[in-house]
Chains A and B, each alone.
Chain A
Amino acid sequence: QTVVTQEPSFSVSPGGTVTLTCGLSSGSVSTSHYPSWYQQTPGQAPRTLIYSTNTRSSGVPDRFSGSILGNKAALTITGAQADDESDYYCVLYMGSGIWVFGGGTKLTVL
């Protein structure tokens, strides 16, 4: 049973930089997992931020960036703003038509 791991919570100061990660319970995340990232505020549908590791979705500010850091996928927010306070989810393609979401990270901006 593959588990995708994310930090349950994170805190960043306004204007600060934060990096959220997305790992595997066993093994390393690579570009072949096509990691993507989604932002969700309470009561709303998810919004696509990053796909294929590091491509920003249309309309997403360039303060959001994606990468592979070590053995994990990463989402970096540079110059955090108050409205970045949300839940963030990564999802990995595991092959054979199977996708697995991480448990999500609750980001607080204060």
Chain B
Amino acid sequence: AQKITQTQPGMFVQEKEAVTLDCTYDTSDPSYGLFWYKQPSSGEMIFLIYQGSYDQQNATEGRYSLNFQKARKSANLVISASQLGDSAMYFCAMREYQGGSEKLVFGKGMKLTVNP
């Protein structure tokens, strides 16, 4: 079963508008972490934002904020005031612990296109 679900394969948004990228997750572990990464066409994976399962506040990093709804198991990324440079693939990931180490389990990603 998928542990991270990103149902939107692609989205289009106008420059300067806000956009929400959906992510739902599945875990029975009470302690977990959720991440969003951006992958522009150049290919690198850029860390955007992190939310811990015990964090009381929703995470924010500049124009990025995470709408964390624990009961619904959702961790949506909100990008305010979209810029052309925000056009990229976006991946939601969850940290899992295995054998004393951790690994990231990724969703399938979604492609955001910002139009001028």
Q: Real complex partners, A and B?
A: no
A: residues with CB less than 8 A from B are none
B: residues with CB less than 8 A from A are none
